[in-house]
Amino acid sequence: MPPTEAQDRPARLTVGVVGAGRVGPALAASLQLAGHRPVAVSGVSDASVRRAAELLPDVPLVTPAEVLARADLVLLTVPDDALADLVSGLAETGAVRPGQLLVHTSGRYGTAVLDPATRAGALPLALHPAMTFTGTSVDVQRLAGCSFGVTSPDELRMAAEALVIEMGGEPEWITESARPLYHAALAIGANHLVTLVAQSMELLHDAGVQAPDRMLGPLLGAALDNALRSGDAALTGPVARGDAGTVAAHIAELRRHAPQSVAGYVAMARTTADRALDHGLLKPELAADLLEVLADAGDGPDAPDHTPEGGGR
Protein backbone atom coordinates (compact mmCIF):
# COMPACT_ATOMS: atom_id res chain seq x y z
CA MET A 1 0.00 0.00 0.00
CA PRO A 2 1.55 3.36 -0.97
CA PRO A 3 1.91 6.07 1.72
CA THR A 4 -0.79 8.26 0.19
CA GLU A 5 -3.34 5.56 1.04
CA ALA A 6 -2.34 5.28 4.70
CA GLN A 7 -5.48 7.09 5.84
CA ASP A 8 -7.58 4.43 4.09
CA ARG A 9 -6.15 1.46 6.03
CA PRO A 10 -8.56 -0.42 8.36
CA ALA A 11 -9.51 1.48 11.51
CA ARG A 12 -8.40 -1.38 13.78
CA LEU A 13 -4.84 -2.61 13.52
CA THR A 14 -2.82 -5.56 14.75
CA VAL A 15 -0.06 -4.17 16.96
CA GLY A 16 3.42 -5.51 17.68
CA VAL A 17 6.11 -4.30 20.06
CA VAL A 18 9.84 -4.68 19.50
CA GLY A 19 11.53 -3.96 22.81
CA ALA A 20 9.40 -4.58 25.90
CA GLY A 21 10.97 -1.83 27.97
CA ARG A 22 8.92 0.60 30.00
CA VAL A 23 7.37 2.40 27.02
CA GLY A 24 6.31 -0.19 24.44
CA PRO A 25 3.90 -2.33 26.49
CA ALA A 26 2.20 0.77 27.89
CA LEU A 27 1.60 2.23 24.43
CA ALA A 28 0.35 -1.10 23.11
CA ALA A 29 -2.00 -1.46 26.09
CA SER A 30 -3.30 2.04 25.40
CA LEU A 31 -3.90 1.19 21.75
CA GLN A 32 -5.69 -1.96 22.88
CA LEU A 33 -8.10 0.19 24.90
CA ALA A 34 -8.80 2.09 21.68
CA GLY A 35 -9.78 -1.14 19.95
CA HIS A 36 -6.55 -2.21 18.29
CA ARG A 37 -5.23 -5.74 18.86
CA PRO A 38 -1.75 -6.47 20.24
CA VAL A 39 -0.55 -9.70 18.65
CA ALA A 40 3.17 -10.01 19.38
CA VAL A 41 5.92 -8.61 21.58
CA SER A 42 9.66 -9.15 21.78
CA GLY A 43 11.81 -8.84 24.87
CA VAL A 44 14.90 -10.48 26.29
CA SER A 45 15.39 -9.57 29.93
CA ASP A 46 13.38 -10.96 32.82
CA ALA A 47 12.04 -7.46 33.48
CA SER A 48 10.84 -7.19 29.87
CA VAL A 49 9.04 -10.52 30.12
CA ARG A 50 7.34 -9.44 33.36
CA ARG A 51 6.25 -6.10 31.89
CA ALA A 52 4.81 -7.79 28.82
CA ALA A 53 2.95 -10.31 30.96
CA GLU A 54 1.47 -7.59 33.16
CA LEU A 55 0.45 -5.08 30.51
CA LEU A 56 -0.15 -7.41 27.56
CA PRO A 57 -1.38 -10.70 29.03
CA ASP A 58 -1.76 -13.57 26.57
CA VAL A 59 0.21 -11.73 23.88
CA PRO A 60 2.94 -14.12 22.67
CA LEU A 61 6.61 -13.32 23.18
CA VAL A 62 8.42 -13.83 19.86
CA THR A 63 11.47 -12.64 17.92
CA PRO A 64 11.57 -9.13 16.43
CA ALA A 65 11.24 -10.56 12.91
CA GLU A 66 8.14 -12.50 13.96
CA VAL A 67 6.64 -9.33 15.49
CA LEU A 68 6.92 -7.63 12.11
CA ALA A 69 5.46 -10.68 10.36
CA ARG A 70 2.31 -10.57 12.53
CA ALA A 71 1.60 -6.83 12.99
CA ASP A 72 0.20 -4.03 10.84
CA LEU A 73 1.57 -1.45 13.29
CA VAL A 74 4.96 -2.07 14.89
CA LEU A 75 6.24 -0.07 17.85
CA LEU A 76 10.03 0.07 17.98
CA THR A 77 10.68 0.93 21.62
CA VAL A 78 14.37 0.20 22.07
CA PRO A 79 17.04 2.57 23.48
CA ASP A 80 18.03 5.45 21.21
CA ASP A 81 21.52 4.11 20.53
CA ALA A 82 20.15 0.73 19.44
CA LEU A 83 17.47 2.03 17.08
CA ALA A 84 19.46 2.61 13.89
CA ASP A 85 21.09 -0.84 13.94
CA LEU A 86 17.75 -2.49 14.68
CA VAL A 87 16.04 -0.79 11.73
CA SER A 88 18.91 -1.61 9.38
CA GLY A 89 18.94 -5.22 10.49
CA LEU A 90 15.20 -5.68 10.04
CA ALA A 91 15.32 -4.12 6.59
CA GLU A 92 18.34 -6.15 5.46
CA THR A 93 16.74 -9.44 6.50
CA GLY A 94 13.51 -8.70 4.65
CA ALA A 95 11.40 -8.50 7.81
CA VAL A 96 9.76 -5.21 6.80
CA ARG A 97 6.53 -5.50 4.85
CA PRO A 98 5.31 -2.84 2.37
CA GLY A 99 2.47 -0.78 3.83
CA GLN A 100 3.41 -1.62 7.41
CA LEU A 101 3.29 1.26 9.90
CA LEU A 102 6.66 1.42 11.63
CA VAL A 103 6.65 3.69 14.68
CA HIS A 104 9.60 4.51 16.89
CA THR A 105 9.32 6.33 20.22
CA SER A 106 12.77 7.91 20.45
CA GLY A 107 12.85 11.59 21.32
CA ARG A 108 16.21 12.08 19.65
CA TYR A 109 15.28 10.93 16.16
CA GLY A 110 12.75 11.90 13.55
CA THR A 111 11.80 9.61 10.67
CA ALA A 112 15.19 9.62 8.90
CA VAL A 113 16.44 6.85 11.19
CA LEU A 114 13.72 4.66 9.66
CA ASP A 115 14.92 5.26 6.07
CA PRO A 116 16.15 1.66 5.50
CA ALA A 117 12.68 0.39 6.39
CA THR A 118 10.98 3.16 4.40
CA ARG A 119 12.90 2.08 1.31
CA ALA A 120 11.50 -1.40 1.92
CA GLY A 121 7.96 0.00 1.82
CA ALA A 122 7.26 0.77 5.49
CA LEU A 123 5.28 3.83 6.54
CA PRO A 124 7.51 5.75 9.01
CA LEU A 125 6.36 7.65 12.09
CA ALA A 126 8.19 9.12 15.08
CA LEU A 127 5.85 9.35 18.09
CA HIS A 128 7.65 10.30 21.30
CA PRO A 129 5.53 10.54 24.47
CA ALA A 130 6.81 13.38 26.65
CA MET A 131 6.31 11.36 29.81
CA THR A 132 8.36 9.34 32.26
CA PHE A 133 7.41 5.67 32.46
CA THR A 134 7.46 3.22 35.36
CA GLY A 135 6.83 0.03 33.41
CA THR A 136 3.53 -0.56 35.24
CA SER A 137 -0.15 -0.14 34.47
CA VAL A 138 -0.13 3.40 35.89
CA ASP A 139 1.62 4.50 32.71
CA VAL A 140 -1.49 3.85 30.62
CA GLN A 141 -3.49 6.35 32.68
CA ARG A 142 -0.67 8.90 32.56
CA LEU A 143 -0.90 9.00 28.77
CA ALA A 144 -4.19 10.89 29.08
CA GLY A 145 -3.35 14.45 28.08
CA CYS A 146 0.32 13.61 27.45
CA SER A 147 2.01 15.55 24.66
CA PHE A 148 3.72 13.52 21.94
CA GLY A 149 6.57 14.91 19.84
CA VAL A 150 5.49 13.83 16.35
CA THR A 151 7.51 13.77 13.14
CA SER A 152 6.04 12.23 10.02
CA PRO A 153 5.85 12.60 6.25
CA ASP A 154 3.09 15.00 5.23
CA GLU A 155 0.98 12.19 3.81
CA LEU A 156 1.01 10.38 7.16
CA ARG A 157 0.14 13.32 9.41
CA MET A 158 -3.49 12.25 9.73
CA ALA A 159 -2.47 8.70 10.66
CA ALA A 160 0.06 9.99 13.22
CA GLU A 161 -2.47 12.36 14.75
CA ALA A 162 -5.12 9.64 14.96
CA LEU A 163 -2.79 7.22 16.75
CA VAL A 164 -1.68 9.82 19.30
CA ILE A 165 -5.26 10.86 20.03
CA GLU A 166 -6.32 7.22 20.39
CA MET A 167 -3.63 6.81 23.04
CA GLY A 168 -5.10 9.80 24.88
CA GLY A 169 -2.30 12.15 23.89
CA GLU A 170 -1.90 15.49 22.15
CA PRO A 171 0.35 15.76 19.07
CA GLU A 172 3.06 18.42 18.89
CA TRP A 173 4.64 18.56 15.45
CA ILE A 174 8.46 18.61 15.53
CA THR A 175 10.54 19.02 12.38
CA GLU A 176 13.25 16.48 11.63
CA SER A 177 16.06 18.99 12.20
CA ALA A 178 14.63 20.13 15.56
CA ARG A 179 14.42 16.68 17.15
CA PRO A 180 17.80 16.80 18.98
CA LEU A 181 17.01 20.24 20.45
CA TYR A 182 13.52 19.11 21.41
CA HIS A 183 14.93 16.07 23.19
CA ALA A 184 17.65 18.07 24.96
CA ALA A 185 14.98 20.44 26.28
CA LEU A 186 12.99 17.57 27.75
CA ALA A 187 16.10 16.07 29.34
CA ILE A 188 16.94 19.35 31.04
CA GLY A 189 13.42 19.70 32.38
CA ALA A 190 12.62 16.13 33.39
CA ASN A 191 15.78 14.06 33.84
CA HIS A 192 17.73 16.78 35.62
CA LEU A 193 14.70 17.53 37.79
CA VAL A 194 14.76 13.99 39.17
CA THR A 195 18.45 14.38 40.05
CA LEU A 196 17.85 17.74 41.75
CA VAL A 197 14.89 16.48 43.77
CA ALA A 198 16.69 13.31 44.87
CA GLN A 199 19.71 15.37 45.91
CA SER A 200 17.52 17.83 47.80
CA MET A 201 15.83 14.99 49.69
CA GLU A 202 19.19 13.52 50.68
CA LEU A 203 20.41 16.87 52.02
CA LEU A 204 17.20 17.45 53.96
CA HIS A 205 17.53 14.00 55.50
CA ASP A 206 21.11 14.84 56.49
CA ALA A 207 19.81 18.07 58.05
CA GLY A 208 17.47 16.06 60.28
CA VAL A 209 14.20 16.35 58.35
CA GLN A 210 12.18 13.19 59.00
CA ALA A 211 9.93 13.41 55.92
CA PRO A 212 11.79 15.22 53.12
CA ASP A 213 9.23 14.15 50.53
CA ARG A 214 6.38 15.65 52.54
CA MET A 215 8.30 18.89 52.99
CA LEU A 216 9.27 19.19 49.34
CA GLY A 217 5.95 18.13 47.81
CA PRO A 218 3.97 21.35 48.31
CA LEU A 219 7.02 23.56 47.70
CA LEU A 220 8.05 21.90 44.45
CA GLY A 221 4.46 21.61 43.28
CA ALA A 222 3.97 25.35 43.72
CA ALA A 223 7.35 26.15 42.12
CA LEU A 224 6.56 23.98 39.10
CA ASP A 225 3.10 25.47 38.69
CA ASN A 226 4.47 29.01 38.97
CA ALA A 227 7.28 28.28 36.50
CA LEU A 228 4.89 26.80 33.93
CA ARG A 229 2.60 29.81 34.29
CA SER A 230 5.17 32.60 34.53
CA GLY A 231 8.57 31.33 33.39
CA ASP A 232 11.51 33.29 34.81
CA ALA A 233 9.15 35.68 36.62
CA ALA A 234 8.54 32.83 39.09
CA LEU A 235 12.17 32.88 40.30
CA THR A 236 12.58 33.35 44.05
CA GLY A 237 15.34 32.64 46.56
CA PRO A 238 18.76 34.03 47.44
CA VAL A 239 20.23 34.04 43.92
CA ALA A 240 17.32 36.01 42.44
CA ARG A 241 17.51 38.41 45.41
CA GLY A 242 21.26 38.83 45.12
CA ASP A 243 21.93 37.52 48.64
CA ALA A 244 25.62 36.76 48.17
CA GLY A 245 26.14 35.99 51.85
CA THR A 246 23.43 33.35 51.87
CA VAL A 247 24.78 31.72 48.73
CA ALA A 248 28.27 31.69 50.24
CA ALA A 249 26.88 30.04 53.36
CA HIS A 250 25.16 27.39 51.24
CA ILE A 251 28.38 26.60 49.40
CA ALA A 252 30.38 26.41 52.64
CA GLU A 253 27.87 23.96 54.15
CA LEU A 254 27.78 21.85 51.02
CA ARG A 255 31.57 21.67 50.98
CA ARG A 256 31.49 20.31 54.54
CA HIS A 257 28.57 17.90 54.24
CA ALA A 258 28.07 17.07 50.54
CA PRO A 259 31.07 18.19 48.47
CA GLN A 260 29.83 16.21 45.47
CA SER A 261 26.87 18.57 45.20
CA VAL A 262 28.86 21.83 45.07
CA ALA A 263 29.51 21.81 41.32
CA GLY A 264 25.83 21.31 40.52
CA TYR A 265 24.75 24.03 42.97
CA VAL A 266 27.24 26.53 41.53
CA ALA A 267 26.34 25.73 37.91
CA MET A 268 22.61 26.12 38.54
CA ALA A 269 23.16 29.28 40.61
CA ARG A 270 25.17 30.84 37.79
CA THR A 271 22.48 30.00 35.27
CA THR A 272 19.79 31.31 37.60
CA ALA A 273 21.74 34.55 38.16
CA ASP A 274 22.15 35.06 34.40
CA ARG A 275 18.46 34.56 33.76
CA ALA A 276 17.45 36.72 36.71
CA LEU A 277 19.69 39.53 35.41
CA ASP A 278 18.35 39.21 31.87
CA HIS A 279 14.76 39.47 33.13
CA GLY A 280 15.34 42.35 35.51
CA LEU A 281 14.79 40.31 38.68
CA LEU A 282 18.37 40.55 39.99
CA LYS A 283 19.62 44.08 40.52
CA PRO A 284 22.96 44.69 38.79
CA GLU A 285 24.43 46.35 41.87
CA LEU A 286 23.78 43.14 43.85
CA ALA A 287 24.92 40.80 41.11
CA ALA A 288 28.65 41.63 41.33
CA ASP A 289 29.19 40.21 44.84
CA LEU A 290 27.02 37.19 44.02
CA LEU A 291 28.90 36.39 40.83
CA GLU A 292 32.22 36.80 42.66
CA VAL A 293 31.13 34.21 45.23
CA LEU A 294 30.11 31.83 42.46
CA ALA A 295 33.34 32.41 40.54
CA ASP A 296 35.42 31.67 43.63
CA ALA A 297 33.33 28.59 44.39
CA GLY A 298 33.99 27.27 40.91
CA ASP A 299 37.74 27.45 41.43
CA GLY A 300 37.78 24.23 43.46
CA PRO A 301 37.60 22.93 47.02
CA ASP A 302 40.22 25.38 48.27
CA ALA A 303 38.27 28.45 47.16
CA PRO A 304 37.90 31.13 49.82
CA ASP A 305 34.96 30.98 52.19
CA HIS A 306 32.87 34.15 51.82
CA THR A 307 30.51 33.21 54.64
CA PRO A 308 29.94 36.35 56.77
CA GLU A 309 30.13 36.25 60.55
CA GLY A 310 26.97 34.61 61.80
CA GLY A 311 26.29 33.02 58.40
CA GLY A 312 23.85 34.14 55.74
CA ARG A 313 20.14 34.62 56.11
* 113-135 pLDDT per residue, tens: 999 999 999 999 999 999 999 98
Give the number of other Cβ atoms within 10 Å of residue 301's Cβ: 8
pLDDT > 60? residue 160: yes
User: What pLDDT band is residue 3 in, cutting at 50, 70 and 90?
Assistant: very low
Q: At residue 183, does pLDDT exceed 90?
A: yes
Q: pTM for the whole thing? A: 0.85
Q: Per residue in 222-234, is it b (16+ CB within 10 Å) or e — as a string?
A: eeeeeeeeeeeeb
Query: pLDDT averaged over the chain?
Result: 91
Q: What percent of the chain clears pLDDT 70, i.e. is strictly above it?
A: 92
The pLDDT, as a whole number, for residue 20 is 86
Q: What is the pLDDT of residues 271-311, one digit of tens each?
A: 999 999 999 999 999 999 999 999 998 765 544 444 444 43
- The pLDDT, as a whole number, for residue 299 is 62
C-alpha span between 155 and 251 (Å, rounded)? 55
Alpha-carbon distance of 160 to 151, in angstroms, equals: 8
Decide: residue 264, CB within 10 A, 0-12 exposed, 13-18 middle, 19+ buried.
middle
